[in-house]
Structure 1
């Protein structure tokens, strides 16, 4: 079974197999129902973007990589928005440079 519609879209309305016609249809048909089933309070689908970014930064992913994932024009933008999520207490902090440039 192919999930790619002739339009090139992957996510289709499960009721009719056609591409979604807009975000309102997704919110009413699928989004609100999925949140309710997951016992998550309502939030706009756009907010998942910030959840993703804050999770990646919290996990220690490189800020430049997260910035590219988010489509930001500058790492500075990403740092400004997500700086509070950047881990500051890693036991190995500062050790990478020591390992790389240490004289043996």
Structure 2
């Protein structure tokens, strides 16, 4: 179990070192420098997906919450909108902070959807 946790931390750490790189996400959801994929973006982790469009950049996930950094030119989300990540986890937008004038993005906060 400890080895599994160590492997996971190493894997996450190697992903974080690539945050400032331009790159692509392949069909399995892994970072690649190859352009033979339709999902391209700059300097972030893995994009989330809505039902019909992959458009988001996800930040650190902690205690069931996530920070999403979405370029202004991309699809707009509203509070209570639902998005799905590459692991099929559903997230609900809980708050939005607009940084349009300071870096050109909005910060979306989301919580995992709880299925009762």
TM-score (normalised: structure 2): 0.26
Between Structure 1 and Structure 2, whose CA radius of gyration is higher? 1
Counting helix residues as a fraction of each chain, which structure ranks higher? 1
Bigger relative contact order (CA 8 A; separation at least 6): 2
